[in-house]
A and B are shown apart, each in its own frame.
Chain A
Amino acid sequence: MRWGMVIDLEKCTGCQACTTACAMENNRLPGESWQDVLFYQEGEYPSAQLKWFPRPCFHCENPSCMYVCPTRATYKTDDGVVLIDWNKCIGCKYCMIACPYGVRFYTDEKPLVEPDIKETFPTEGDPQWEPPYKKPDTVEDWKRGVGIQPHGVVSKCTFCYHRISNAPPGVADLDPNDPELVEYVPACVRTCAPTARYFGDLDNPHSTVRKLIADKRGGRLLDQTGNKPQVYYLTGEGGAVPAFGEGQPTEEEE
């Protein structure tokens, strides 16, 4: 069993519903988008292109973030999900350096969006703040990096582990259209309006995710780093992520 995701870039509209759903589900700070849609611009008018790229944590097969963590705070579960134990994290941020995909966050920093909402809804000590939109059934599981994080630790997308870990054993796909499985589906997958996201067992050859990867030539990002992400993209005729510097203005050009 190895949970994975497929994102169809030809269907994705860049609406950011996934980003919002993730923020609500996981009580994220504004701007701290575990799931984010990145926009890229290439060229100039009249041949300019705008590309967008939904990017969760890729929960890699060979995660460099896990290997650099000196305390094993970052670890991989038996079902293939990379999580952070907030009780062990020392906040060295080496994992943030080592992640090629920039998916990790350290909220003991200047607020990404002003004013600082932590000051508006403070707590005494840990966790760091009390979100006004915190759900009554919010799960706090610091051993798996789920919940509102304490000070001095790193956080990232958990594939909504508090949901998927309760899924019936042996299920091939977590289909949001299946009423019996919808409560186990990660928030970003469940919310996606154009159904650009699929979530399932990459080790099951009969799963939808495996079939999509095979039929539509699913690709991974930065394969050359050897991390082997467990999130695949179906590009079809659509986007590739442009190399940094191409078509993106440097500070001097701006």
Chain B
Amino acid sequence: MMNVQTQTFARTAIPRNLGVLFFVGGLGLLIGLGGLFPLFLEGHRMFNTGSMDKMVWGIAVVTYAYLALASFGVTLVTMLGSLFRLRGCEPLLMPNLLLALALAIGAVAALALELGHPVRAIWAMPFNLQFRSPFYWMGIAWTAYLALLLIALGLSFRSSPGKPFNRKLGVLLVLAALGALTVQALVYGLMAMRPVWFSSTLPLYFLIGAVLVGLSLIVLFTHIAHGFDAGSMPEDTRRLMADGVPTALLTILVVYLLATASRVVTGLWSNLDGHRIVYEHLIRSGWFHLEVWVGLLLPVVLLSLRKLSARPAVQSCAAVLLLTAAFIGRYEFIIGGQRVPLFKGTWVPGLIDYTPSVTEWMVSVFAFSLVLALYAMGSRMIGFIQARG
């Protein structure tokens, strides 16, 4: 059970494996940038997306949606822990906010590579005031979220150990993350012509996914930061990671499983044109079974066994499986919603098939690597500042 009391604050944990993170992030950026050259030279013809027999939105949008979800989730979990003054959270505040910022930048980078005119969006969206567009509100929400995140991170840099986090800012940041998450869900949920997506409860499904992904990332990066050695953590943080975190992760995982099962069962039961056929295709897919049996159910087992669930290696393994499952889930959601061709007749006689091109995969590689590289750079900055202070 988590202790909600006045805590003794410790200094922020700096990743032990900073060099490895730099290397992996930097290598990924190089590979990603190299792989993106065809995009810069030839344009979006290098994507396997299109107007007739192809997906409109491909893995670049999936990557954006996943990283955005992850960023909102990390922020929500971190700020709720801070607002409720959970013992052991304080050393994790700055690294988690940094992680959230890196994830947000990675998401925006992936989206920018997808858009036809990303720079134009900077002026065209705010000045044309299309209030009815979910994308317009997503821009507003993202701006507020990023601004508050930067302020929170800045204040965290400046604050001294022992001083609690600014509650008002924390509440605003939680609201901004929730708002951005809700609008992102409604981008899909408002589409009545896409029965796989259309739902007013989609923001709730996205929220559950965000908390799951956010908590998994916090677990993974905390263990990476401490070299998978629980003994090197501050005592309160060690206790939190050993007792409270596995329980919380298991709980949100069960809720996520229920939500996923609910969507799949609804899809298979539905008579709605273009709904059941997608889910029948989904459950025949190997990726779906990998997601469910290995990505979701195996972590349930790992986190349920008390002797195992406290171990950093087991927690990290469960986190990696959950993050992979969540990515597959996001992919299935976004691609699945577009599988049914809209009025193509015999030009497209069956469900639309999709395999990302190499260039599209490079968008994902670039975005994920950017997250790692930014996180490593930011952690190095924290180390410099703490060393001076």
Contacts and interface: CB of A to CB of B under 8 A. Distances in A.
Interface of A: 31-32, 36, 38-41, 52-53, 55, 64, 67-73, 88-94, 96-112, 116, 151-153, 222, 225-226, 241, 243-245, 248-254
B51 A32 contact: yes
A120 B271 CA distance: 47
A251 B350 contact: yes
18 contacts: A39-B347, A55-B343, A68-B133, A68-B134, A69-B130, A71-B121, A88-B120, A89-B117, A90-B115, A91-B115, A93-B57, A97-B57, A106-B116, A109-B45, A110-B54, A241-B343, A243-B273, A249-B349
B136 to A, nearest CB: 5
Interface in B30-62: 43-45, 47-52, 54, 56-57
Contacts of B6: none
The B interface is mostly helix, strand or loop, or mixed, namely loop
Given A73-B124, A108-B43, A244-B340, A92 B192 contact: no
Given A68-B134, A244-B340, A254 B349 contact: yes
A91 B61 CA distance: 13
A94 B47 CA distance: 17
A92 B135 contact: yes
A136 to B, nearest CB: 29
Which of A31, A71, A109, A110 gathers the greatest number of chain B CB atoms within 10 Å?
A71
B44 A245 contact: no
Nearest to B118: A90
B346 interface: yes
B351 A251 contact: yes
Contact of B342 (A88, A102, A243, A249): A102
Contact of B139 (A64, A70, A109): A70
B194 A97 contact: yes
Contacts of A93: 56-57
B45 A111 contact: yes
The A interface is mostly helix, strand or loop, or mixed, namely loop
A90 B118 CA distance: 6
A250 B351 contact: yes
Given A39-B345, A97-B56, A110-B54, A152 B43 contact: yes
B274 interface: yes
Given A93-B56, A97-B191, A251-B353, 16 more contacts: A38-B343, A38-B345, A41-B346, A70-B124, A70-B130, A92-B116, A101-B343, A102-B342, A103-B343, A106-B116, A109-B50, A110-B47, A153-B116, A244-B274, A244-B341, A254-B350
Given A71-B128, A225-B193, A248 B43 contact: no
A151 B116 contact: yes
B274 A70 contact: no
A68 B49 CA distance: 20
Interface residues of B, number: 54
Which of B48, B118, B139, B192 gathers the greatest number of chain A CB atoms within 10 Å?
B192
Contacts of B139: 70
A224 B257 CA distance: 33
A250 B350 contact: yes
Interface of B: 43-45, 47-52, 54, 56-57, 114-118, 120-121, 124-125, 128-130, 132-136, 138-139, 187, 191-194, 273-274, 277, 281, 284, 338, 340-347, 349-351, 353
Contacts of B120: 71, 88, 90
A104 B51 contact: yes
Nearest to B194: A97
A250 B135 contact: no
A249 B117 CA distance: 38
B344 A38 contact: yes
A152 B121 CA distance: 12
A176 B212 CA distance: 62
A74 to B, nearest CB: 9
Contacts of B138: 70
A64 B194 CA distance: 12
A123 B343 CA distance: 32
Contacts of B274: 244-245
Nearest to A38: B345
Nearest to B61: A93
Nearest to A67: B132
Contact of A90 (B47, B116, B191): B116
A112 B135 contact: no
B54 to A, nearest CB: 7
A53 B345 contact: yes
B135 A94 contact: yes
Lowest 6 CB-CB distances: which A-B pairs, in order? Answer: A91-B116, A152-B116, A38-B345, A70-B135, A100-B193, A102-B342
B250 to A, nearest CB: 36
Nearest to B125: A70
A244 B277 contact: yes
Contacts of A102: 341-344
A110 B56 contact: no
B49 A92 contact: no
A89 B119 CA distance: 11
A108 B343 contact: no
A112 B342 contact: no
A103 to B, nearest CB: 8
B121 A90 contact: yes
A31 B115 CA distance: 23
A34 to B, nearest CB: 11
B193 A64 contact: yes
Nearest to B122: A90
Which of A36, A67, A70, A112 gathers the greatest number of chain B CB atoms within 10 Å?
A70
Contacts of A31: 52
A103 B345 CA distance: 12
Contacts of A32: 51
Contact of B116 (A68, A89, A104): A89
Nearest to B138: A70
